Amino acid sequence: MEGGQPFSGESNQKEGTGGTPKSAPAVRSDEDDGYEVLIPFQANPEQKETSNVTGANRSSKNSQSPNSSMTTKELQEYWRNEKRNCREVKVLFEIPSARIVEKVFSKYVAYRIIIIQTGSFDGNRSIIERRYSDFERLHANLLKTFYDEMEDVPFPKKSISGNFTEEIIMERKLAFQDYLRILYSMECIQTSRMFIDFLVGPEMEEAYSCLRGGQYTKALEIFLAVVPLQEKLIKHRPILLVPTLCAILICHKDLDNSRSAYEFGEKALLRLQNHPNNRYFMPLLETMISLAYELGKDFVSLQEKLEERKAKKVPRKMVTLKELAVQEYVH
């Protein structure tokens, strides 16, 4: 994979028949869809206003004084929220090292990027590797879409020779670290699909490829490693995490781990509660009803939500959650 070394993991895999049917068309919707509409997604004034109102409401709710009716758990959560509101959460990029990768027909430098969330304790530092051509491709794509913002952003030029000298590698490490810092400081780029895909794309492509091939253990391992990084990058729009959470659900389900599948399904539903038009909403509800029945949980409320949504939609054949998942990151 050109994106450098992906998240490493176990080698034992459970083979399955999770491939995409040859005749299955790519499923897309004009409705509230979350992820695929963001090419790139930028916060327009209306979205920003809504976001500010939502944030204000949340802040107001969290800043209410604690009262004697709160349980110990509720008081702890209250003070956690208070501390969180006092900190400005940002993402920092560090490139501490690089390595020369030699293959049969190619040789390149892989830069090790550490992504850290500040403002609170970050127990999940994310580490990825990208090469010069990955940065170069990102820069070219950003210039096409955000020329005014990118016009004066410095980018290390290609060298005809000396690319593998210690001096050049050191210069580029520092240059790419500053480059990522500058990109993240610009809101329109920080929240763009191109920037996010640069940081998680290669790993996500591998994970979904494993999922389509029925290699659920390997796919699950990669998805679980990518989720903390995704959470750092898409705090502006948590719904973007739904496809990954549903893919993890599918992996757990096909590995006969229904309890973990249900847990990740709950996380996905939480992010979809205000987005009933999202293409994942109804397939996820159907899967959760099946899992709840299997686990002996109450599924009546889930069934009611599904029936309510079906009554509002034009009748048509509904795809399954797995059919949706295997079509992500297909180029």
Q: Please write the tens of the pLDDT for every residue from 249-303.
A: 999 999 999 999 999 999 999 999 999 999 999 999 999 999 999 999 999 999 9
- Enter the tokens of residue 239: 């719904």
Strand partners, 126: 115
Distance CA 220, CA 113 (A): 22
* pLDDT computed for residue 168 by the predictor: 93
Q: Please write the tens of the pLDDT for every residue from 120-153.
A: 666 678 999 999 999 999 999 999 999 999 999 9
> Taking the CA of residue 66 as centre, how many other CA atoms within 13 Å lie in the half-sphere pointing to its CB?
14
Close Cβ partners of 223 (under 8 Å, ≥ 6 residues apart): 207, 244, 247, 248, 251
* pLDDT computed for residue 60 by the predictor: 43
Distance CA 308, CA 134 (A): 46
Q: How far is CA 131 from the centre of its chain?
A: 21
Strand partners, 113: 128
* pLDDT computed for residue 163 by the predictor: 85
Distance CA 3, CA 12 (A): 23
Distance CA 208, CA 329 (A): 7
Distance CA 124, CA 232 (A): 10
Q: How far is CA 158 from CA 56, 133, 161, 169, 217, in A?
A: 47, 10, 9, 12, 40
Strand partners, 100: 109
pTM of the predicted structure, to 2 decimals = 0.73
> Taking the CA of residue 57 as centre, how many other CA atoms within 13 Å lie in the half-sphere pointing to its CB?
5
pLDDT in tens, the chain (331 residues): 444 444 433 334 444 444 444 434 444 443 444 433 333 333 344 444 444 444 444 444 444 455 555 667 666 666 565 555 545 568 999 999 999 999 988 999 999 999 998 866 666 789 999 999 999 999 999 999 999 999 999 999 888 777 899 999 999 999 999 999 999 999 999 999 999 999 999 999 999 999 999 999 999 999 999 999 999 999 888 999 999 999 999 999 999 999 999 999 999 999 999 999 999 999 999 999 999 999 999 999 999 999 999 888 777 778 999 999 999 998 7
